Structure 1
Amino acid sequence: MSSQPNQSLIDGIRCLQYLISNGHSVGCRELARLMGLNVTRVNRLLMTLASMGLAEQDEHRRYRPGHGIHALAAQAIRGSSLFSQTLPLLEQHAPADLTVAMGVLWEDKVIYIYHSEPGLQVSQALAGFNTLPVWESVIGMALLAAEDDDALRPRFTPAQWQTLYPHLVEKRKHGHVVWRHNDGEVSMARTIGSNRAAIAFAGMYQYHETAINDRLLALKTLAGQLNQALVFNPQ
């Protein structure tokens, strides 16, 4: 039996992920361009997903997620310890006066599992934030630090790498990333679950160093609580 990955399965799952992440109906050509595949192959993948109820066509014959995605979403949530073990802790311990986010990597993008702003209800914080490129997310920067520079550098433009690299060095040295934005905002992140995900605080403006250090300590404490929960539920 071959030990090689099944490329058809990989392409099918990627196709579904791109379809879900796109945020609006998409045609075969646009999806093929996003995925880096030929149009004929993407068309076959979409037709297969449609036959399973995971995709459907709108009135313009463009594709969007189908009704079967709801069952898949429920199964994924049930099978995810990141959801089941961390969300109660975030609801209980996350600071209410900051933006608090938890995300994972997908193809040099950050998918937000949780993104809460002051005054936002927990139900609104679940998977309710846009996908971001890793170089635009403090969570992405923290998670990329676990990868090798020689493998990372070719994936980014020189400008993107210039933004990323100092934060990768900081994460490897100190265990966290602190990003001081040009508009005065400060955001920070630490990884959890053996680099499976990262937790971040944001929305801090014009903070002095003592306040930043206090928030870093609070972030470290929260990350430790989340890690402790994931140790006993590692799936």
Structure 2
Amino acid sequence: MPAVETQSIMRAVAILDCFSLDHPELGVREIARQLHLSTSTVGRLLITLRSAGILSQDPTTRRYVMGPKILQWSSIYLSRLDLANEAAPALAELHRLTSETVSVYMLDGGERVCIARIESPERVRVVVRVGERMPLHAGSAGKVLLAFMPSEAVAQILGKPLERMTPNTIINRKTLTQELETVRKCGYAISHGERFQDALGLAAPIFNADGKVIAALNVAGPVMRFDDAAVAKYAPKIIRLANQVSQALGYVSSPE
């Protein structure tokens, strides 16, 4: 990114930082004085921020306030906090049952992002980090999210080159499509070393009040401990725990 663009971005962020609960409305000169910038420079940046919906301007006072885009962004952030809070008991219970690394992944565009996790106490374990982004086609949590997405969105993702994360990553579109159908029928997904070599993952979907899958509850461990027998043992439990989170979010399952 050119230095001029970087400078403009940093100045725009600095402008936003000028707003606070004590000073929710600011004029051009006030901001310029705080940042030691010219009023013309600040004015240009304010116009850009206003046109993007990040700031709004009072037509009478000509002073600026936070705009609707800020509310949109904060809603996204708060939804993640709410989900992480609602999932915390299930996450703790899954960790207690398995002693493996457990996590919650939220759908974010064409990727998944980890919003909560508890790591295994074992020396050899699967390591994930909150905020880490991963593809949807590789790993149990990714396949759960992908399996319940609208068909148009799935087609768009599968229409792009699929990165091979490990030798076991499924990059054949026909094979992956069949795998997603199995996930929908079973209600959970399994990954045999698709994202992490020599690891097995198990994930179940979390639904919101509208019946849309927005997240996945996941457990993963090294195959020397967490194997197919563990999948058979814990699959019903992870489905139950994911359903508990879904119900906490207002989801009501359809009668069988």
TM-score tier (shorter): 0.5 to 0.7
Q: Secondary structure at the match of 2:233?
A: helix
> Which amino acid in structure 1 is aligned with residue 235 of structure 2?
L
Aligned length: 176
Cα RMSD, aligned residues only: 3.8
More off after superposition, 42-51 vs 177-186: 42-51
- Say which is worse superposed, 185-194 or 222-231, in terms of deviation: 222-231
Structure 2 counterpart of 1:52, one-letter code: L
The one-letter code of the counterpart of 1:215 is Y
CA-CA distance at 1:218 after TM superposition: 2.0
Computing the radius of gyration from Cα coordinates, the structure with the larger value is: 2
Structure-2 change in CA distance of 1:208 and 1:79 (3 Å): closer
Tell me the distance in 2 between the aligned counterparts of 1:98 and 1:130.
18
Match of 1:98 among 93, 97, 100: 100
Aligned partners of 2:112 and 2:133 also within 8 Å: yes
1:83 to 2:93 alignment? no
Question: Equivalents in 1 of 2:245, 2:111: separation in Å?
Answer: 22
Pick which of 141-150 and 109-118 moved more: 141-150
Q: Which has the higher helix share?
A: 1
Displacement of 1:28 in angstroms is 5.7
Structure 2 distance, partners of 1:177, 1:128, is 21
The code of the aligned residue for 1:173 comes to K
What is the 5 A alignment of 1:3-152? 27=1, 47-53=11-17, 76-77=77-78, 80-94=81-95, 95=97, 97-119=99-121, 128=130, 130-152=132-154
Distance 2:135 2:238 in 1: 23
Call closer, same or farther: CA 1:128–1:154 in 2, change over 3 Å: closer
Structure 2 CA distance for aligned equivalents of residues 76 and 159 of structure 1: 28
CA offsets, 1:187-207, max 9 Å, x none?
Answer: 111111241111011114145
Counterparts in 2 of 1:151 and 1:215: CA distance versus 1, 3 Å: same
TM-score computed with the length of structure 2 as normaliser = 0.55
**Contact preservation (8 Å) 2:189, 2:203:** yes
Which residue, 233, 246, 255 being the options, matches 1:214? 233
- The change in CA–CA distance for 1:90 and 1:159 in structure 2 (over 3 A counts) is closer
Please report how far the alpha carbon of residue 227 of structure 1 lies from its aligned counterpart in structure 2 after TM superposition: 2.1
CA distance in 2, matches of 1:47, 1:136: 39
Q: Secondary structure at the match of 1:132?
A: strand
> Secondary structure at 1:217's aligned position in 2?
helix
TM-score, length of structure 1 as denominator length: 0.59
Stretches of structure 1 that go unaligned for 5 or more consecutive residues are: 1-26, 30-38, 55-71
Deviation, structure 1 residue 139: 1.5
Indicate if the aligned counterparts of 2:143 and 2:189 stay in contact, CA closer than 8 A. yes
Distance 2:133 2:81 in 1: 19
Q: Secondary structure at the match of 1:136?
A: coil
Which segments of 5 or more consecutive residues in structure 2 lack a partner in the other structure? 19-72, 164-170, 252-256
Once the two structures are superposed, residues 115-163 of structure 1 have per-residue CA deviations (whole angstroms, 9 ceiling, x without a partner) of 221139xxxx996352112223421211111224444234343545527
Give the direction of change, closer, same or farther, for the CA distance of 1:78–1:108 in structure 2 (3 Å limit): closer
Q: Classify the secondary structure of the residue corresponding to 1:196.
A: strand
Q: Per the alignment, in what secondary structure is the counterpart of residue 231 of structure 1?
A: coil
Contact 2:104 2:116 in 1 (8 A): yes
Q: Which residue of 2 aligns with 1:168?
A: 180
